[in-house]
Chain A
Amino acid sequence: MNSVRLWYKKSGLAIYTSHLDMNRCFTRAVRMAGIPLWYTEGFNPHPYLNFLLPLPLGTGAEKDPIDIRITEDISFDEIKSRLNAVLPGGIEIVAVTEPAIKVSEVAKAGYEIILEFLTPEEACAFAAGALAVIESGELNAEKRSKRGIKTVNLCSFVSSFDASSEGGRVKIKAVISAGPAENLNAALLADSLLKEFGASAEKTEITRTEIFTADGKIFI
């Protein structure tokens, strides 16, 4: 049995697919691709397929990891090309690797958030305002967790933040907490910033660009 890490890109129509649905979609794709998945044992065996950092509905990803276990040797190139032949549009395998870092070490993730406004002035003001708010170290929002809804300071989840505008578009690059221990949904950050200024974006696009460990190493 070999552990394999699949890296997929999620964009376009596929961003409207929820995490649960992604799971089913990949299970089917792996079957169709004839990749011999290892099945869990027990009463109701199911294929082992683990999305390391579930993506919320509406958020895309440049390169997100899924761990699988296979029972036969197949080359990484073969896995990649067979899967890409059967995955629906918007979901693509960009790399297949051996898992190098344990999932428990995931601590942060980088996001690109694009917000489109009606006017360049609005965009420019929002970018400056957003920077100032994060700088101030206080942005309170209601955050849902397993223990219910709580008001928290989102700034304590932010490791780095940059916002710039070009025409009516604001581009935010942010590294925020991610992983099983502490996780912030990038959409919540974007919405809270908009709310802070009573602004609304015509269009919001969020993409996870990379994943980091606690000491800032890129997760591989």
Chain B
Amino acid sequence: MYPEKLEKFLLKVQKPGRYTGGELNSVIKDKREVDIRYAFCFPDTYEIGMSHLGMKILYALVNAREDAWCERVFAPDTDMEAVMRENDIPLYALESGEAIKDFDIIGFTLQYELCYTNVLNMLDLAGIPVRSENRESLTPLIIAGGTCVCNPEPMADFFDITLPGDGEEVTNELIDLLKEFKKQGKGKKEFLEAAAQIPGVYVPSLYKVEYNDDCTVKSVTPTCGAPEKVVKRNVKNLDTMFAPETFVVPFIETVFDRTTVEIFRGCIRGCRFCQAGFLSRPLREKSPETVFSQCKAICDSTGYDEISLCSLSTSDYKGLEKLLGTLIPWGDDNKINVALPSLRIDNFPKDLMEKLNTVRRSGLTFAPEAGTQRLRDVINKNVYEKDILSTCAQAFAGGWTAVKLYFMIGLPTETNEDIEGIARLAQAVVDEFYHMENKPKGKGVSVSVSLASLVPKPFTPFQWEPQDKPDVLTEKQDFLVSCVRTRKVNISRHVPWTSFLEGVFARGDRRLCSVIETAWRSGCRMDSWEEHLDREKWNAAFEQCGIDPFFYTARARSFDEVLPWDHMDYGVTKKFLQRENEKAHRGETTQSCREKCSGCGAARLNGGECNELCAAVV
């Protein structure tokens, strides 16, 4: 539901279906019968937020409790924001249509650094002071989870609590504690001190940060009994873990119009640029039986005709063959497509590929990430040119004519030769098509190259590496374009400035809080949308706060520097990451966990056990 006042404006904004609520399976409760009202905020548009699996999990999890009601909130687009501000309509939750400032918990999920200003903007639209210190009462409590909270420091002044790691268990523990404190009429300070004792709860205001003269962090000191290190939460058993059996089904089209079922967490690969892979270790798998029954339940309750199996590297799932053996026939009978994103080609059985083809022909994509084998060794991306070419040849013979290749520039040790290698590899794919003996008449091949830029992230072996400045990235992009000699290859490039800003926040510290606030106050929001990203305002904000953004991106850090996120513990040790960094510079690869454990440290979160280690012992 939406506030009545909004009604006459709804047809004046783009896609009003984003703001109405009332979708199939949305949960309506009697507010007098719950103790805790939870606003789940996604700091981006409805279409993006509604496609996000984490939100669906949390929504179902909180609503499974009788004593709590979770509602959804998304960032209004700029046209809607203007309507809300002009007419004094505060940010509301989609289920009840009520203003969220009276809720107990306002929880954000941080998936992308360029959504930070949206968080401030949403709090402000709700009528809530953006800074934690300016919110005196116990509720609403402003919390955050999601990938980006592995380095919560650039947002430390705004959140009361962040939750590193898996949210399934800690969310319930936090709700229980808040319910108790609310009942006893206790204050916010007492609550935060008690909450900090729950494993995996970080209360930024309880930590004192001191800086060296060169602006690097000198020390981070816990106060009031808060733990020295906040260890991320790790759900041990995915088969018994809470998983949603139903999703809200949007009226309007979203980014992914399908059901998603997670098959495992963690990754055995260890690509050195990939933050998600390291943050989610150790590897934990769901059994194929659990996955299948969850797929069935969700399709039944939503009517979707496509299932996407979700993980960081689908083909590494040990139960894949068994799962597809039941899932695909069931999909055929029920006219349900099975989509497998994140497929790696190097270990994908051919007969499985054929099975899948009968269900759905999705595009052929590869992610070599770098243009030469030397550089692929540096980043530990174990994909080989000959495998790509032979898979392409197979696919072309089967009638495919389009291939998508993902690459990154700005990688450590990169030279012009590596960039040229991208063009060369794309050309080799084109040639593969024309060398085919029975190539279809009148059909051409198209190879699209998607070119991202490396943003070194915390908890990866590249966390110490300098990031290329935007003008260098632009030069490299131009150079690549000049290397391409055929119109069959089409290059799409990321905006270097976007990667730059992302890089600043990814490895930033608390001094950036004021920059984010200043930029937001001067009008920055929806920065992830290129048309809204306002470089001048951002540059002005950095200047006004006396902060050089390149301090965070362009500088090489030494291994003994105190990193702003060192008091977060995601399992993987700094020593391991350093070892991996050194190996990268020597051009040495690391085996996947399935071949050999490289002692990353994450197993300790699982009581010393790692799925992969067990497998090795047996």
Q: Tell me the A residues contacting B by CB distance below 8 Å.
A: 12-14, 16-18, 20-21, 24-25, 27-32, 39, 45, 57-58, 86-90, 202-204
Cross-interface CB contact of A24 among B10, B11, B23, B257, cutoff 8 Å: B257
CA distance A13 to B1 in the complex (A): 8
Q: Are A14 and B251 in contact (CB under 8 A)?
A: yes
B23 to chain A, nearest CB (A): 6
B335 is an interface residue with CB less than 8 A from chain A: yes
Of all chain B residues, the one with the shortest Cβ separation from A205 is B7
B167 is an interface residue with CB less than 8 A from chain A: no
Q: Are A39 and B335 in contact (CB under 8 A)?
A: yes
Q: Are A13 and B22 in contact (CB under 8 A)?
A: yes
Known: A21-B251, A21-B253, A25-B251. A31 touches B22 (CB 8 A): no
Of all chain B residues, the one with the shortest Cβ separation from A12 is B22
Residues of B within 8 A of A45 (CB): 335
| Segment touching A, from B103-111, B299-307, B409-417 | B299-307
9 closest Cβ pairs, A-B complex: A28-B303, A32-B303, A13-B22, A16-B16, A88-B24, A17-B251, A58-B11, A13-B20, A31-B303
Cross-interface CB contact of B249 among A13, A28, A30, cutoff 8 Å: A28
B contact residues, range: 20 to 34
CA distance A80 to B186 in the complex (A): 53
Residues of A within 8 A of B300 (CB): 32
Q: Are A88 and B22 in contact (CB under 8 A)?
A: yes
Of all chain A residues, the one with the shortest Cβ separation from B26 is A88
Q: Are B303 and A29 in contact (CB under 8 A)?
A: yes
CA distance A57 to B10 in the complex (A): 11
Known: A28-B302, A28-B304, A58-B11. A89 touches B252 (CB 8 A): no
CA distance A87 to B251 in the complex (A): 11
CA distance A13 to B11 in the complex (A): 12
- Which of B194-253 touch A at CB < 8 Å? 249, 251-253
Q: Are B21 and A13 in contact (CB under 8 A)?
A: yes
Of all chain B residues, the one with the shortest Cβ separation from A116 is B8
B17 is an interface residue with CB less than 8 A from chain A: yes
Interface string of B288-310 (1 = CB under 8 A from A): 00000000000011111100000
- Which of B565-609 touch A at CB < 8 Å? none
CA distance A16 to B15 in the complex (A): 8
Residues of B within 8 A of A21 (CB): 17, 251-253
14 sample A-B contacts, Cβ–Cβ < 8 Å, listed by A number: A13-B1, A16-B10, A25-B24, A28-B302, A28-B305, A31-B305, A32-B303, A39-B335, A45-B335, A57-B11, A58-B11, A86-B303, A90-B22, A202-B8
- Which of B1-42 touch A at CB < 8 Å? 1, 7-8, 10-11, 16-17, 20-24
Q: Are A18 and B303 in contact (CB under 8 A)?
A: no
Known: A25-B249, A28-B303, A58-B16. 13 other contacts (CB 8 A): A18-B252, A25-B24, A28-B24, A28-B304, A29-B303, A30-B303, A32-B303, A39-B335, A86-B24, A88-B249, A88-B251, A202-B8, A203-B7
Q: Are A17 and B304 in contact (CB under 8 A)?
A: no
Residues of B within 8 A of A58 (CB): 11, 16
Residues of A within 8 A of B257 (CB): 24
A69 to chain B, nearest CB (A): 15
CA distance A86 to B300 in the complex (A): 11
Residues of A within 8 A of B252 (CB): 17-18, 21
CA distance A27 to B257 in the complex (A): 13
Residues of B within 8 A of A13 (CB): 1, 20-22, 251
Q: Are A16 and B253 in contact (CB under 8 A)?
A: no
Cross-interface CB contact of B20 among A16, A18, A87, A204, cutoff 8 Å: A16
Residues of A within 8 A of B8 (CB): 202-203
CA distance A204 to B205 in the complex (A): 50
CA distance A66 to B170 in the complex (A): 48
Of all chain B residues, the one with the shortest Cβ separation from A13 is B22
Q: Are A32 and B302 in contact (CB under 8 A)?
A: yes
Q: Which of B303, B304, B305 has the most CB of A within 10 A?
A: B303
CA distance A198 to B302 in the complex (A): 46
B252 to chain A, nearest CB (A): 5
Known: A14-B251, A24-B257. A88 touches B10 (CB 8 A): no
A64 to chain B, nearest CB (A): 16
Residues of B within 8 A of A12 (CB): 22
CA distance A206 to B1 in the complex (A): 20
Residues of A within 8 A of B253 (CB): 20-21, 24
- Which of B424-483 touch A at CB < 8 Å? none
CA distance A58 to B9 in the complex (A): 11
Of all chain A residues, the one with the shortest Cβ separation from B360 is A44
CA distance A202 to B17 in the complex (A): 20
Of all chain B residues, the one with the shortest Cβ separation from A31 is B303
CA distance A89 to B21 in the complex (A): 10
Residues of B within 8 A of A20 (CB): 253
Residues of A within 8 A of B20 (CB): 13, 16
Residues of B within 8 A of A89 (CB): 22
Cross-interface CB contact of A16 among B1, B24, B251, cutoff 8 Å: B251
A188 to chain B, nearest CB (A): 13
B482 to chain A, nearest CB (A): 39
Residues of B within 8 A of A16 (CB): 10-11, 16-17, 20, 251
